[in-house]
Amino acid sequence: MTSASLPRAGLVVVQPLRRKHCARCRRGPQPLLVLEDGAPRCPDCADLGHLVFLPRGDTALTRRAREESTLWAVVVRFNRRKGRYERQGLLVEEDALTRAERRCLADAEARRRRRARDARRRAAQDALFVAAFAAEIRRLYPGCPAERALAVAAHAAERGSGRVGRSAAGRALSEGAVTSAVAASVRHRETPYDHLLMAGVARPEARRRIAPAVRSVLRSWRETGAEAVAGPGPAAGPAAEAAEAAEAAAG
């Protein structure tokens, strides 16, 4: 637990991953700790013992409890896989939490209707974006079946997935982002990539082995008519050269 990796704004309380004791009262192990002068303190020794824990999940209740509470602290826990601290909830005054709960109960139905409207709006926005992403796939790779292009777009653009379609480049429909999404689909469906991973082949090596096959499929989808019948050939022109470069990087 290091102060350099903790959030910098406001009071911060940590849920430790290991069994730790308070450096002042020596009680423990403690479920919550505050880092003061490089030493862990329990909430009681840090003058936060009167606060109650509000888990994350209810945005309205969290916001209102924070507004109602004179003193509050963010509770975080370190995520080893992501290498960062993540919010788990808040410590707030018990009376403040009660008042916040009453406020939330008073307008629960209005907030439910608003969430429903927001969900419909997001769904409509996502549908338009998936259609645009699929159209860009078909423009760059006219040989890609329409159903496949739509499936690739829907997968890449899934909200909250963190995939390339949700990146800034993906939202801008950049050629590199679109090619990366198509290449990822080809990698899993048209090559033995998944079997190589299951056989214990390291991911970089597995990608190296199947890269020519990925490029071959992308090239065949990019070419249409007589060019596709003739088979893979040298790229011609700046646009084709750019496509070849993007495919090589994606492979």
Tell me what pLDDT residue 193 has: 96
Worst-scoring range by mean pLDDT, 50-59, 224-233, 240-249?
A: 224-233
Task: Give the HSE-up count for residue 8: Cα atoms under 13 Å, Cβ half-sphere.
Answer: 1
Tell me what pLDDT residue 62 has: 96
Tell me what pLDDT residue 250 has: 60
As given in the structure block, the two tokens for residue 210 are 């199947």
Spatial separation of the C-alpha atoms in residues 129 and 176, rounded to whole Å? 17
Q: What percent of the chain has pLDDT over 90?
A: 74
Tell me which of 233 and 122 has the higher pLDDT: 122
Task: Give the HSE-up count for residue 46: Cα atoms under 13 Å, Cβ half-sphere.
Answer: 24
- pLDDT of 163 > 70? The answer is yes
pLDDT tier, 78 (very low <50, low <70, confident <90, very high otherwise) = very high
As given in the structure block, the two tokens for residue 146 are 């329409």
pLDDT tier, 8 (very low <50, low <70, confident <90, very high otherwise) = low
Worst-scoring range by mean pLDDT, 20-24, 141-145, 178-182, 187-191?
A: 20-24
- For 124-147, write each residue's pLDDT tens digit: 999 999 999 999 999 999 999 999
Interval 43-57 mean pLDDT:
94
Question: Backbone phi, then psi, for 201, in 5-degree steps?
Answer: -70, 135
Question: Backbone phi, then psi, for 7, in 5-degree steps?
Answer: -55, 145
As given in the structure block, the two tokens for residue 209 are 């082995």
Tell me what pLDDT residue 237 has: 45
Nearest residue to 131 via CA among 169, 173, 160, 161? 173
Interval 69-85 mean pLDDT:
93
**pTM score:** 0.61
